[in-house]
C-alpha cells in the first residue's frame, strides 16, 4: 500500500529506545547532541520576529523564485561575506531539505545518482531516497586536516551521475572546501555536465580564525582557473541567524550564464508548483538577517569557546584526541575502541551524557564521538568531563 521510498519498518533502534527510557524516567543528562539553537540559552531579542507581522503580508502576490526584495536581502547577506551574487540568481525555499528536493527534481530522473561525501550529514540517505535518487559515496580523508579524496570522487562517477554534494564546512568534520578542491571538482564536473551542490548552512561559523574567508565558494563571480560547472550554494536562516523555526532558506545558482539561465527557468517551474515560502517571511527577510546578526555573534562565540575548552580538556586525557575542526557547530573526538560505538554511547548515556556515535555520520571506522558545540559553556564542560572521565576509568582499568 505504501511507497518503497520509505523504509518498510520504522523500528526503534537501541539508542533511541534507551533515550526514550531515560527521558521517561526523568533522569537528567547532558545533551551533547543539541542542534537546536533556540534551546541553547542564547539571548534572542524579544522583538526579533516583529518584522513577520507587517500588514503588507496580508496581500498574496506569489513569485515562484521568491519576492525580489527578499532575494536582494539574501544577495546583501552574500555581500557581507564578500561574495557578489545577483539577486536574480537566488531562489528562496522553506528549508534546506526543500532546497535539496527541488534540486533533485531539477537535475535527476528516478535512479540517477548523486555523489555524497563520507563522513557527512546523515539526512542525505533519506533526502535522496524520498526523491528516488541513488547515492554513491566519495571519501573525505583525514591527515591532520580533512580533505576530499578526489580520486575516490572521480571513481564514483558513472554515466548516471547528476550532481556532487559538498557540505562546507562539513557536518560533523568541520572541514571547509578549499579553492583548490573547488577547481579540481569543477574540472571534473563541468565537462561531464555534473552539477555541484554546496551546502553552506554553517559557512558563518569558523573555529579556526580565517578558515571561512579562506574557503572555496561556488557562488559569485570569482576568477576561475578552470571551466565552471553549474552550481547551487545552499544557505538559510536556521544556522546563519539561529532561527530554524522561521522557514526561509535559499540557493544561489552559479556557473556559465547559459546554464544558469536554463536552470533558473526550470527551477522556476518546480518552485511554482509548490510555492512553499510564506509571504510574511519574505517581507521580513532583510530585517531578520539584519537583527539576527546579534544571535549569530553569540553562537559564533559559543562554538569557539566550547571547541577550545574541548581541546584543553582532551589535552589532559591521553587516550582521547580532538580532530582538527575548522568550522561549524560540531567537534569530533577520537576515543579508544574498547567496545562498539553503540555500546559506548549507551554506557555514556548511563553516565549522564548523550553523544552521537561516528557511525551515524558514516565514519569509515570506530571509534569516534560527535559532540555539539552549542550547549551553554558550563553544561558543555560538564558533558565533556563525563565523557573523558569514562575513558580515564576504562583505560586505567578501574
Point out which residues bind ligand PLP (CB under 6 A): 35, 95-97, 121, 167, 171, 199, 201, 236, 238, 244, 249
Least distance to ligand PLP, CB of residue 236, Å? 4
Distance CA 25, CA 350 (A): 12
Least distance to ligand PLP, CB of residue 28, Å? 24
Least distance to ligand PLP, CB of residue 201, Å? 5
Antiparallel, parallel or unpaired: β 231-236 and 195-199: parallel
The stretches of the chain forming alpha helices (DSSP H) are: 14-25, 68-80, 96-107, 124-130, 150-156, 179-189, 237-240, 257-274, 279-291, 293-315, 341-350, 377-396
- Beta bridge partner(s), residue 145: 143
- Rounded (10°) CA dihedral 219, 373, 332, 364: -60
Distance CA 387, CA 297 (A): 28
Longest Cα separation, the chain = 68
Antiparallel, parallel or unpaired: β 321-322 and 134-143: unpaired
Least distance to ligand PLP, CB of residue 94, Å? 8
Nearer to ligand PLP among residue 160 and residue 274 (C-beta)? 274
Least distance to ligand PLP, CB of residue 241, Å? 11
Least distance to ligand PLP, CB of residue 97, Å? 5
Backbone angles phi, psi at 29, to 5 degrees: -150, 160
- Cis amide prior to 367 (ω within 30 degrees): yes
Tell me the three cell numbers of residue 212: 571561512
Nearer to ligand PLP among residue 202 and residue 391 (C-beta)? 202
The b-or-e profile of 283-295 (16+ CB within 10 A means b, else e) is bbbbbbbebbeeb
Least distance to ligand PLP, CB of residue 109, Å? 24
Least distance to ligand PLP, CB of residue 98, Å? 8
Residue 146: other Cβ atoms inside 10 A: 23
Rounded to 5°, angle at Cα 343 from 341 and 349 = 100
Nearer to ligand PLP among residue 199 and residue 326 (C-beta)? 199
Nearer to ligand PLP among residue 118 and residue 249 (C-beta)? 249
Distance CA 329, CA 239 (A): 9
Least distance to ligand PLP, CB of residue 100, Å? 8
Nearer to ligand PLP among residue 171 and residue 325 (C-beta)? 171
Distance CA 197, CA 168 (A): 10
Nearer to ligand PLP among residue 117 and residue 255 (C-beta)? 117
Nearer to ligand PLP among residue 314 and residue 374 (C-beta)? 374
Least distance to ligand PLP, CB of residue 159, Å? 28
Find out whether 113 and 98 touch, Cβ atoms under 8 Å: no
Find out whether 292 and 313 touch, Cβ atoms under 8 Å: no
Nearer to ligand PLP among residue 125 and residue 151 (C-beta)? 125
Nearer to ligand PLP among residue 313 and residue 325 (C-beta)? 325
Nearer to ligand PLP among residue 161 and residue 171 (C-beta)? 171
DSSP string, 239-308: HHSS-TTS--EEEEEES-HHHHHHHHHHHHHHHHHH--S-HHHHHHHHHHHHHTHHHHHHHHHHHHHHHH
Amino acid at each position: 500500500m505504501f511507497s518503497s521510498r520509505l523504509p518498510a519498518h520504522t523500528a526503534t533502534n537501541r539508542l533511541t529506545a534507551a533515550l526514550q527510557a531515560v527521558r521517561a524516567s526523568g533522569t537528567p543528562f547532558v545533551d551533547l547532541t543539541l542542534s537546536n539553537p533556540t534551546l541553547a540559552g542564547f539571548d534572542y531579542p524579544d522583538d526579533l520576529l516583529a518584522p513577520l507581522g507587517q500588514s503588507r503580508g496580508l496581500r498574496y502576490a506569489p513569485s515562484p523564485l521568491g519576492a525580489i526584495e527578499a532575494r536582494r536581502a539574501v544577495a546583501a547577506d552574500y555581500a557581507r561575506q564578500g561574495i557578489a551574487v545577483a539577486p536574480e540568481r537566488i531562489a528562496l525555499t522553506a528549508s534546506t531539505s526543500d532546497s535539496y528536493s527541488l534540486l533533485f527534481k531539477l537535475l535527476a530522473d528516478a535512479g540517477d545518482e548523486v555523489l555524497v561525501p563520507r563522513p557527512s550529514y546523515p539526512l542525505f540517505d533519506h533526502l535522496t531516497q524520498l526523491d528516488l535518487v541513488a547515492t554513491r559515496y566519495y571519501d573525505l580523508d583525514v591527515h591532520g586536516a580533512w580533505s576530499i579524496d578526489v580520486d575516490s570522487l572521480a571513481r564514483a562517477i558513472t554515466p548516471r551521475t547528476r550532481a556532487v554534494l559538498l557540505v562546507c564546512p562539513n557536518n560533523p568534520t568541520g572541514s571547509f572546501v578549499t579553492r583548490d578542491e573547488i577547481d579540481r571538482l569543477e574540472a571534473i564536473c563541468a565537462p561531464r555536465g555534473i552539477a555541484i551542490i554546496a551546502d553552506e548552512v554553517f559557512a558563518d561559523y569558523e573555529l579556526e580564525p580565517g578558515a571561512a574567508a579562506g574557503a572555496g565558494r561556488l557562488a559569485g563571480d570569482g576568477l576561475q582557473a578552470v571551466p565552471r560547472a553549474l552550481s547551487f550554494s545552499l544557505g538559510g536562516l536556521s544556522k546563519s541567524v539561529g532561527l530554524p523555526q522561521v522557514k526561509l532558506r535559499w540557493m544561489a545558482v552559479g556557473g556559465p550564464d547559459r546554464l544558469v539561465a536554463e536552470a533558473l527557468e526550470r527551477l522556476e517551474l518546480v518552485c511554482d508548483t509548490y510555492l512553499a515560502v510564506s509571504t510574511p517571511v519574505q517581507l521580513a527577510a532583510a530585517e531578520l538577517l539584519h537583527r539576527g546578526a546579534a544571535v549569530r555573534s553569540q553562537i559564533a562565540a559559543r562554538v569557539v569557546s566550547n571547541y577550545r575548552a574541548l581541546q584543553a580538556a582532551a589535552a589532559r586525557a591521553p587516550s582521547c584526541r580532538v580532530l582538527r575542526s575548522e568550522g561549524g557547530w560540531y567537534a569530533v573526538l577520537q576515543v579508544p575502541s574498547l567496545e562498539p560505538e553503540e555500546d559506548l554511547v549507551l554506557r555514556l548515556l548511563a553516565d549522564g551524557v548523550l553523544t552521537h556515535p561516528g557511525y551515524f555520520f558514516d565514519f569509515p571506522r570506530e571509534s569516534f564521538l560527535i559532540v555539539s558545540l552549542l550547549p551553554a559553556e558550563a553544561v558543555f564542560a560538564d558533558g565533556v568531563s563525563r565523557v573523558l572521565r569514562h575513558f580515564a576509568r576504562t583505560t586505567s582499568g578501574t
